Chains A and B, each alone.
Chain A
């Protein structure tokens, strides 16, 4: 396996560097018209970082307003627009594309031993669709904003709101098509483009996770598309598809919306789990515990994700019997989630753990995801949810999953593969420092919100009784630390592009085709020769006799 040369004849650029996908061409057109999955990863990386900053600015407005009990900074309308902007931008333009479109784009072909995704031009089209969607949606936000919340609940969105709802819907619609095409591309690539010997049972678990994600993107997103289309039609022609005053059913909108948007939550966590699989095994120097169980758990989560949407409707007038079924099915989500957490922990058990930046993010992920997951159980419990529904408890719960889970995994993965993507090492000390700042800032921001919600503070209010202020001040203080924590990596990662030490092909001593068979950064075709896979994934240490705990 190690005899395959990394670079054929070592072609050299005029500056004396070996040719790779980054320096092979330099013009702007060579970036904007590229069909190389690795360059498209960079396009996504730059654009979603920009969207993250926009969404973060909206969050800043929210947290600033909530420092005081009164409405001092924003009007009620302004506050509605701020949280709507935060939701739309972060969900449709950051979280959904985040790991799949960047790390997934870069890694899937390389991890399975292919030269590119199956449809490179379609991949570029996905990026352009996301960009056009972003311009349209941002346009709606800057023209005056949208005040419906990212969920576009009818009949408010269709009849009463006088903001730019239709434009924002078109933006989300286009972003959805981008997501569908990315998922389609990944599914076909994983099915058709695997190198000789790369059986399904040898796929890195990151690929399994992205495959499961892609299934959700393909099956769920079209339903969102038609739902949003119906809202736009209703709004434009004043007909009452979801308007009770005209005979329509607003709960039907909620069913259709959450049929997409609940699985979409798994679009926003499964890729993070995929990243953690890779990190935990590499930095424990041990083959991942229960490879098959984790692979099955990824797909199981994707399947179950389609059966639980009704838990968003417990207090919306859904029948109590439907609520009971959805409640039980929602509890089932805990099983594959727990399988993964236990397996990651078991992987670390007796591993040779090193505390590099990506591993710190992994620790953060496992802890915060566990809290986020366990707090989902009270929300899935019918009676308890009546008390907790639409409170800050829900906000804290899903931010523990989306930020504590997905964003931490994204940052961990970005640090882990940064040498491969850019050919440079990031400064390790700064990396660890930022990871700790983010962890502290995150918990200070969102843990008080669990308490707030339990005490009865509803979401989406810009004023509140005085007794809640201490929690809101803690949360806003945490948010400022969190913002600093997110800013630090932007600076040192950009700095490292010119000044970081050159990365070797495999700086972590990791397993996998991307580390063992490509240069850092890889050449345009990824591999000089198509690799032939002869061993299992994560062959970190020879199999040892299983230890019997307590024997």
Chain B
């Protein structure tokens, strides 16, 4: 692929694995070279994200079915969603995607001093999101809207509302769990980045966590309109 290697590759002599004694410390010897290793990690991460899409996809499908079945109840429950807090959190998460992208860029361009700060910024914004989410959850608790544990709902839609709130908690809960895992991964990156483990030669983990983080953000980008915006009672939605 690259020009200086052409002579070697036309000779078609595969290099023995011993040759990699001088290779980067992160190099794993069952790969031919760093590029193959990076490409493999990249593909692996994308395939993993596909499995995540299917995981959330199942959840979204079930949600969509109940939303269609119980559109009147859905319109009724949507007035309990806090659009202000949800919207704020959306902005916070998009901001964290920016800092994450800057972190990946910093790793790629050898900006070793800035890298930990961008990672810390991402964690900070992610934490803000989780704190706001926690406030929303407590709010729901006080309003008796936690299915199974603390649920009271006035009106004709009590049973259906419980299902819809179950989906609210499961969907946002799974999303929050993914964020917590992401924050754990970012913490690991900060420790390694402070030891100068990442450079333009080797930044695979930063890039992989970046992909993961962006994916989790995108899930929220779908969750926010589905749960908070469409079917808002004052925007029309049910036909009760």
B170 touches A230 (CB 8 A): yes
Residues of B near A223 (CB, < 8 A) are: 54-55, 57-58
Q: Which residue of A is nearest B159, CB measured? A: A247
B205 to chain A, nearest CB (A): 13
Whether A225 sits at the interface, judged by CB under 8 Å, is yes
Q: Which of A111-163 contact B (CB under 8 A)?
A: 114-116, 118-120, 122
In the bound complex, how far is the Cα of B40 from the Cα of A122, in angstroms? 13
Whether B65 sits at the interface, judged by CB under 8 Å, is yes
Chain B contact residues: over half helix, strand or loop, or mixed?
Answer: helix
Residues of B near A114 (CB, < 8 A) are: 30
Binds A, one of B44-52, B122-130, B210-218: B44-52
Whether B148 sits at the interface, judged by CB under 8 Å, is yes
Contact digits for B87-109, partner A, Cβ 8 Å, 1 yes 0 no:
00000000000000000000000
B16 touches A529 (CB 8 A): yes
In the bound complex, how far is the Cα of B31 from the Cα of A147, in angstroms? 48
Binds A, one of B160-168, B180-188, B221-229, B232-240: B160-168
Q: Which of B39, B50, B62 contacts A252 (CB 8 A)?
A: B62
Residues of B near A247 (CB, < 8 A) are: 70, 159-160, 162-163
Given known contacts A226-B55, A240-B163, is B44 in contact with A196 (CB within 8 Å)? no
Q: Which residue of A is nearest B59, CB measured? A: A226
The total of chain A residues at the interface (CB under 8 A) is 47
Contact digits for A507-532, partner B, Cβ 8 Å, 1 yes 0 no:
00000000000000000010001101
Chain B CB count within 10 A is highest, among A119, A122, A193, A222, for A222
A188 touches B163 (CB 8 A): no
Residues of A near B65 (CB, < 8 A) are: 249, 252
Q: Which of A212-231 contact B (CB under 8 A)?
A: 218-223, 225-227, 229-230
Whether A187 sits at the interface, judged by CB under 8 Å, is yes
Residues of B near A229 (CB, < 8 A) are: 170
Q: Which residue of A is nearest B43, CB measured? A: A188
A188 touches B47 (CB 8 A): yes
Chain A contact residues: over half helix, strand or loop, or mixed?
Answer: helix
A118 touches B166 (CB 8 A): no
Q: Which of A118, A222, A240, A532 contacts B54 (CB 8 A)?
A: A222
B57 touches A184 (CB 8 A): no
B40 touches A188 (CB 8 A): yes
* 14 intermolecular pairs with C-beta atoms under 8 Å apart: A119-B44, A184-B44, A184-B51, A188-B47, A193-B30, A193-B31, A219-B51, A223-B58, A226-B58, A230-B170, A237-B148, A241-B166, A246-B159, A249-B69
Which residues of B come within 8 Å of A, CB atoms? 12, 14, 16-17, 28-32, 36, 39-40, 43-44, 47-48, 50-52, 54-59, 61-62, 65-66, 69-70, 147-149, 159-160, 162-163, 166-167, 170
Other contacts beyond A188-B40, A230-B62, A525-B17: 10, CB < 8 A? A119-B40, A185-B44, A187-B43, A223-B58, A239-B163, A246-B163, A249-B66, A256-B61, A525-B30, A530-B14
